[in-house]
Amino acid sequence: MTKQEKIDNFDPNSVGDTTAGMFGLPFTLDECETVLIPVPWEVTVSYSGGTIDGPEAIYEASFQVDLYDPNKKDAWKLGIGMDEINDDLYEQSEKYREMAEFLIDEMAIGEDVSDKDDFDKINAACAEMNAWVKERCLHFLKQNKTVGLIGGDHSTPLGMMHALAEHHGNFGILQLDAHADLRVAYEGFEFSHASIMYNALKTKEVEKLVQVGIRDFCEEEVNIINESKGRVVTFFDRDLKHESYNGETWAQTCKRIIHELPQNIYLSFDIDALDPKLCPNTGTPVAGGFEAEQILFLIEQIVKSGKRIIAFDINEVAPGEEDEWDANVAARLLYRIANLVMTSQGK
């Protein structure tokens, strides 16, 4: 059956078919305009785990998402699919997470672990994960797919950034996050989830990093921002809140954010950018943050501005032990964001 025949025979108003593809769509991965790369990895998480199961949980929750999108008529026809979850990657994450947990626990009680060769093993495993992500992203980028990445913790998109640098050249990063993620080899791990943006800035094609919603950070990170000569621009949550209390609308704030962005944008969305009521099980929740529609409004305004979102990620989604709330929120945001990204690319 051709893709058009599948479209003709599909009822977008029906119950989500769990035997079909993501969101209950009837398309093969080749027929989907957007391909999502799941990365079940959380080796260096420093507070609580669970993000390793984020990709599968979001996939399972996707069948409950209504396919009507107020911004894009018949958006579902473009197709959104998820690549297969890499079981080997999952097993490697479990193995090296155990090593990392031991080191973190030892550091927490003041033990000197600087001479442990487990750091080298963990850093090497993370580098291999990054290389795999880069290869997989390039595979789909070369097919002219819109590519998204589903973590896992926030260390997972570094390989995608390297792929984008090779495929697109210069771009800026829009980081939606509670944390600055500019720590240098946090806890001794070169590829820590708390070091993702520090590592991203090592890539010369990343011309600018615009951070939005940051509300948990250290002095070292503030110094990096202040000494970046404008390469890093941060909209702290506290400042955004105070400006709104003084009368600035979110639409006006979005204009200021968009003004700082270059033409080509990579969207990196840590789910903890949201108010923790929407993601209570995420690895490091922080009071404050955004409503879901605020995030969507910002991305809609970016698309309306004519700027291009070249790829995106959603990470740090950890399913709860007793409910699917975090994955439910993430799946709905994922659908709307993917459609907006495709629109920005002219699809």
Which pLDDT does position 189 carry in this prediction? 83
| Alpha carbon distance 112, 78 (integer Å) | 54
Mean pLDDT, to the nearest integer, of 75-100? 96
Question: Which of 169, 188, 151, 112 lies closest to 271 in space, CA to CA?
Answer: 151
Which pLDDT does position 103 carry in this prediction? 85
- Residue whose entry in the numeric block shows the structure tokens 């009368």: 247
Full strand arrangement of the beta sheet holding 34-39:
80-82, 34-39, 146-151, 308-315, 264-270, 171-176, 206-214, 232-236
Terminus-to-terminus CA distance in the chain, angstroms?
23
Question: Which of 203, 199, 209 lies closest to 165 in space, CA to CA?
Answer: 203
Relative to beta strand 80-82, strand 34-39 is parallel
In terms of pLDDT, which residue wins out, 109 or 64?
64
C-alpha distances (whole Å) from 233 to each of 119, 184, 307 are 32, 18, 18
Which pLDDT does position 105 carry in this prediction? 82
In terms of pLDDT, which residue wins out, 82 or 44?
82
Mean pLDDT of the chain: 95
DSSP conformational letter for 66? -
Residue type, 305: S
Residue 152, preceding bond cis, omega within 30 degrees?
Answer: yes
Domains detected in the chain: 3-344 (3.40.800.10)
pLDDT tens-digit map of 265-306: 999 999 999 999 999 999 889 999 999 999 999 999 999 999
Which pLDDT does position 44 carry in this prediction? 86
Which pLDDT does position 222 carry in this prediction? 98
Share of the chain above pLDDT 90, in %: 85
pLDDT tens-digit map of 91-103: 999 999 998 888 8
Tokens of 325: 């709330």
H helices of the chain, in order, are: 3-8, 54-62, 87-108, 118-141, 158-168, 196-200, 219-226, 237-245, 250-259, 292-304, 325-344
- Residue whose entry in the numeric block shows the structure tokens 């993370």: 126
Which pLDDT does position 117 carry in this prediction? 86
pLDDT at 108 over 80: no
pLDDT tens-digit map of 137-190: 999 999 999 999 999 999 999 999 999 999 999 999 999 999 999 999 888 788
Band of residue 106 on the pLDDT scale cut at 50, 70, 90:
confident
pLDDT at 201 over 70: yes
Mean pLDDT, to the nearest integer, of 15-38? 95
Tokens of 148: 């998204």
| Alpha carbon distance 153, 332 (integer Å) | 19
Band of residue 49 on the pLDDT scale cut at 50, 70, 90:
confident
Task: Give the dihedral of Cα atoms 173, 39, 32, 334; nearest 10 deg.
Answer: -60
Tokens of 89: 């990657």
pLDDT tens-digit map of 296-334: 999 999 999 999 999 999 999 999 877 789 999 999 999
Band of residue 57 on the pLDDT scale cut at 50, 70, 90:
very high
Which pLDDT does position 104 carry in this prediction? 80
Counting Cβ atoms within 10 Å, is residue 302 exposed (0-12), middle (13-18) or buried (19+)?
buried
